[in-house]
């Protein structure tokens, strides 16, 4: 019972900070997404391909979360966009306070329209923590089991979009896209699914076009 109360207080404080951050993001016209997946799903590659396609159309900034290294942020700096690394140490997820601490850095970049937050590779803890983002995006790859949505329902329930990545490897696995979609939609019938490959480029234009539409839609709402 004591552990439950402590956990509830932690999440309550996290929610308070996240709401404040979200309000400030919206006031500045920043649309933000929180990419969540297990390790090795290809999150960083998806961020790279997204930045490649959209950086000349909208201003993008990235916050990269990792337990130990800054390897992901180093990969992204070649695109000449604002990138900030958050190293969590032993923590298996980003939380709202970690993101809050880099908000001043984000705001001095000026004119950012899309913030991509790449969370720590973990399908459990990040699902519980609101970072102040507009939406969570779940990522899974075809090298994982197509039953992942059933094993980690909290993430799929909390997400608005799902990317099924590494589709170029479908011929080498027994992964079923149909089963994965069916399992995900059992958890969240409103989930929108994109099938992507960072090797062949399949599905990436559709994903990026949708993301740009959401950024533009948010800008219209904020401008009213």
From first to last of its 224 residues, the chain has per-residue pLDDT tens of 445 555 567 789 999 999 999 999 999 999 999 999 999 999 999 999 999 999 999 999 999 998 877 777 888 889 999 999 999 887 889 999 999 999 999 999 999 999 999 999 999 999 999 999 999 999 999 999 999 999 999 999 999 999 999 999 999 999 999 999 999 999 999 999 999 999 999 999 999 999 999 999 877 666 55
Query: 């720590």: which residue's tokens?
Result: 120
pLDDT of residue 91: 81
Residues 6 or more apart in contact with residue 142 via CB below 8 angstroms: 164, 165, 166, 167, 169, 170, 173, 175, 177
Phi, psi of 193 (to 5 degrees): -110, 135
pLDDT of residue 222: 64
pLDDT tens, 166-205?
A: 999 999 999 999 999 999 999 999 999 999 999 999 999 9
- Give buried/exposed letters for 67-94 (b at 16+ CB in 10 A, else e): eeeeebbeebeeeebbbbbbebeeeebb
Q: How far apart are CA 38 and CA 29, in angstroms?
A: 30
pLDDT of residue 77: 85
pLDDT of residue 42: 96
140: three-class secondary structure by DSSP: strand
pLDDT of residue 70: 74
Dihedral of the CA atoms 46, 65, 127, 203 (nearest 10)?
Answer: 0
pLDDT of residue 223: 58
**Which domains, ranges and CATH numbers included, belong to the chain?**
2-223 (3.40.50.300)
């Amino acid at each position: 019972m004591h552990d439950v109360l402590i956990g509830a207080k932690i999440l309550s404080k996290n929610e308070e900070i996240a709401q404040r951050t979200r309000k400030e993001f919206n006031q500045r016209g920043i649309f933000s997404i929180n990419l969540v997946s297990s390790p090795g799903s290809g999150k960083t590659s998806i961020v790279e391909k997204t930045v490649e396609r959209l950086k000349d159309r909208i201003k993008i900034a990235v916050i990269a979360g990792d337990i130990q290294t800054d390897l992901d942020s180093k990969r992204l700096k070649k695109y000449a966009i604002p990138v900030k690394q958050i190293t969590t140490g032993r923590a298996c997820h980003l939380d709202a306070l970690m993101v809050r601490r880099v908000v001043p850095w984000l705001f001095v970049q000026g004119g950012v329209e899309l913030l991509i937050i790449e969370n720590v590779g973990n399908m459990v803890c990040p699902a519980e923590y609101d970072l102040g983002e507009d939406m969570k995006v779940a990522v899974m790859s075809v090298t994982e089991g197509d039953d992942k949505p059933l094993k980690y329902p909290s993430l799929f329930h909390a997400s608005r979009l799902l990317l099924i990545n590494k589709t170029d490897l479908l011929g080498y696995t027994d992964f079923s896209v149909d089963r994965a979609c069916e399992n995900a939609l059992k958890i969240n019938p409103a989930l929108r699914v994109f099938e992507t490959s960072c090797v062949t480029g399949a599905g990436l234009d559709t994903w990026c076009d949708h993301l740009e539409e959401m950024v533009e839609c948010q800008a219209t709402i904020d401008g009213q």
